[in-house]
A and B are shown apart, each in its own frame.
Chain A
Amino acid sequence: MRAPHFNHERCWELIPWVVNGRASEPEQRDVLAHAADCSECREELARHHALHSQMRGDEDVIAAPNASWQKLLARIDAQPADSAAPRRIERPWLIAALWLQLVAIAVLAGALFRSAEQPAYTTLATTQPSDRRAAVRAVFAPGATLDEINQLLRQVGCDIVAGPSEAGVYTLAATDGDDVPGIIATLRKHPEVLFAERSQTASP
C-alpha cells in the first residue's frame, strides 16, 4: 500500500536515489508507480537515468596506479618520524596504572610533609646534638629565680647551651675544664636543682 504522504514532490525528490540505487525498495516501487501516471516525473526519471549512465561511463580511462603508488611511498618515507599522528594508546589499563602511581606518590609526599611539621618529642635520654661541649643536663626547681640560676652556673663554670626543652631540661656545657662529675655533684647539692645528669654527648 502506498504511504499516504507519498506524492509528486516526494517522488521528484527521490528520483536521484532511485537512479543511483540508494533508495529503499518500497521507495523505488512508489516512485516507479507514480512515474507511470506522471509525465513530469517520468521525464525526470528518464533524464537522470541517461545522466547517470553518461557520468559513470568513464571507467575505462583509469590509469594503472603503480607509478603513483611509488610516489606515495616516497612521500611517506620522506616524512619525519613524528609527522604521523601519534598513535592512540591501546592499553587503557596503562593509563590507569600511571594515574594510580601518581596518586600514591602524592599521598606519600603529603604524609612526609605532615610528619616533618610535627614537634620533635624529647625525653631525658634524647641526644642533644646542638653542642659537642654539652656536658650536663639539668632541671631547675620551678621557684628558682633567674639570679639564683645565673649564680649557680657561675659557681660550677657552665653555660646553658640548649633548653629548656618541653620537659624543662637545660643542657649545660663547662666553660673550661672537664670535671663533669664534680659539676654534677655541686649541682645536685643545690636546692634549686631538681635533676642533674651527664649528657650523652659529653666527652667521656
Chain B
Amino acid sequence: MTHARTDPSSKATPFARPAGPGNNDAELELIRRIRLRDRIALRELYVLYHRRLSRFLMRLTQRQDVTEEIINDTLLAVWNTAAQFRGDSRVSTWIVGIAYRRGLKSLRRRSFELVELGAGDDLAGADELQACETREWIEGALVTLPIEQRLCLELAYVLGHSCEEIAAITNCSVNTVKTRLFHARRKLSALLPRLAGIP
C-alpha cells in the first residue's frame, strides 16, 4: 500500500515532550556553580558532555583532534557565558547548540571529506564483515545528505533530542526541522531499501 506524502512544513503538529537526554536539574546546578567560577563543576560537566559531544562530532568530522577542539571551544564558551544562561531551555539544548554552531563552522571551513572505512581492515569473521559492510553502507548514504539534513538526523538519533530541541539547537523553526528530516528520510529510503528488509 502506497500513500501520497506531503511536505510536513504545511502543518505544525506539536509533539509530546517526554524527558530529554540528561538530568536537567543536576546540570542546572553545575551551571550555577560554574557561574561562581567552580572548576570542579566545570570538570563534571566536561566529562558528561565530552562523552555526548565526542560521539556526535566524531561521526561528523572523523577526526579526534578536531572533535576535541570543538568540544573545548564549546566548554570554554560555557565557562565564559554561564552567567547569561537563564534556563529558558534545557542545559543540553544550550550546550549542544553551541557545539552545533562551532561544529558546522568548522566543517564548512575545513571542507572535510568523511573518511570511508577501509575495505582492507582485518576482520575476524563473516559476521564482522557483514556488520562492517552495513556500517559502511549506512555511512555512505548519510554522507550524501546535505549537512543540515544530516545534522538533524544525527541530533535525533545520536544525541536523542526531540524535534523542538533540535529546532532550538539549530536556531530554526520546528517546521524547518520536519522538512529537513522529511527530505533526508525520502533520500535514505531510496538509498537504504535493504535496511527495511527489502532485498
Is this pair of chains taken from one and the same complex?
yes
Q: Which residues of A contact B (CB under 8 A)?
A: 8-10, 12-17, 19-24, 26-27, 38-40, 43-44, 46-48, 50-52, 54-59, 61-63, 65, 68-69, 71-73, 75-76, 79, 83-88
List the 8 closest A-B pairs by CB distance, nearest first: A24-B16, A43-B196, A65-B50, A47-B196, A22-B162, A47-B195, A50-B195, A8-B3
Instruction: Take A40-B3, A83-B80, A85-B80 as given contacts and tell me if A75 and B35 are in contact as well, using a CB distance cutoff of 8 Å.
Output: no
- Residue pair A51, B157 in contact (C-beta under 8 Å): yes
Residues on A with C-beta less than 8 A from B1 are 38-40
**8 Å CB interface, B152-195 against A:** 153-154, 156-158, 160-163, 178, 181-182, 185, 188-189, 192, 195
Per-position contact with A for B4-30: 1 when CB-CB < 8 Å, else 0? 011010000101111010000000000
List 18 extra interface pairs beyond A13-B13, A22-B163, CB under 8 A.
A13-B178, A13-B182, A16-B157, A16-B185, A17-B162, A19-B157, A20-B156, A23-B18, A40-B2, A40-B3, A43-B196, A51-B195, A62-B50, A65-B50, A69-B50, A72-B75, A76-B79, A87-B83
- Residue pair B18, A22 in contact (C-beta under 8 Å): yes
Closest A residue, CB atoms, query B198:
A43
Residues on B with C-beta less than 8 A from A44 are 185, 189, 196
> Which of these, B18, B80, B181, contacts A16 with CB under 8 Å?
B181
Instruction: Take A40-B1, A47-B192, A62-B54 as given contacts and tell me if A52 and B157 are in contact as well, using a CB distance cutoff of 8 Å.
Output: yes
Instruction: Take A22-B162, A72-B76, A88-B83 as given contacts and tell me if A63 and B195 are in contact as well, using a CB distance cutoff of 8 Å.
Output: no
Binds A, one of B39-47, B87-95, B100-108, B121-129: B39-47
Closest A residue, CB atoms, query B165:
A22
CA distance A15 to B188 in the complex (A): 14
| B138 at the A interface (CB under 8 A) | yes
| B96 at the A interface (CB under 8 A) | no
| B135 at the A interface (CB under 8 A) | yes
Residues on A with C-beta less than 8 A from B196 are 43-44, 46-47, 50
Residues on A with C-beta less than 8 A from B197 are 43, 46
CA distance A118 to B196 in the complex (A): 95
- Residue pair A55, B59 in contact (C-beta under 8 Å): yes
Residues on B with C-beta less than 8 A from A59 are 55
Main secondary structure of the interface of A (DSSP, over half): helix
Q: Give the total of B residues in contact with A, Cβ under 8 Å.
A: 58
Main secondary structure of the interface of B (DSSP, over half): helix
22 of the cross-chain contacts (CB-CB < 8 Å) are A9-B5, A16-B157, A17-B15, A17-B156, A17-B163, A20-B160, A22-B20, A22-B161, A23-B18, A39-B1, A40-B3, A43-B196, A43-B197, A47-B188, A51-B138, A55-B142, A56-B55, A65-B46, A65-B71, A69-B47, A84-B80, A85-B84
- Residue pair B72, A68 in contact (C-beta under 8 Å): yes
Closest A residue, CB atoms, query B36:
A87
Closest chain-A Cβ to B169's Cβ sits at a distance in Å of: 14
CA distance A14 to B18 in the complex (A): 14
Closest chain-B Cβ to A172's Cβ sits at a distance in Å of: 75
- Residue pair B72, A85 in contact (C-beta under 8 Å): no
- Residue pair B3, A54 in contact (C-beta under 8 Å): no
Among the interface residues A8, A48, A79, which one has the most CB atoms of the partner chain B within 10 A? A48
Closest A residue, CB atoms, query B74:
A72
Closest B residue, CB atoms, query A19:
B157
Closest B residue, CB atoms, query A27:
B16
| B130 at the A interface (CB under 8 A) | no
Residues on B with C-beta less than 8 A from A65 are 46-47, 50, 54, 71
CA distance A198 to B8 in the complex (A): 104
- Residue pair A55, B47 in contact (C-beta under 8 Å): no
Closest chain-A Cβ to B91's Cβ sits at a distance in Å of: 17
- Residue pair A55, B154 in contact (C-beta under 8 Å): yes
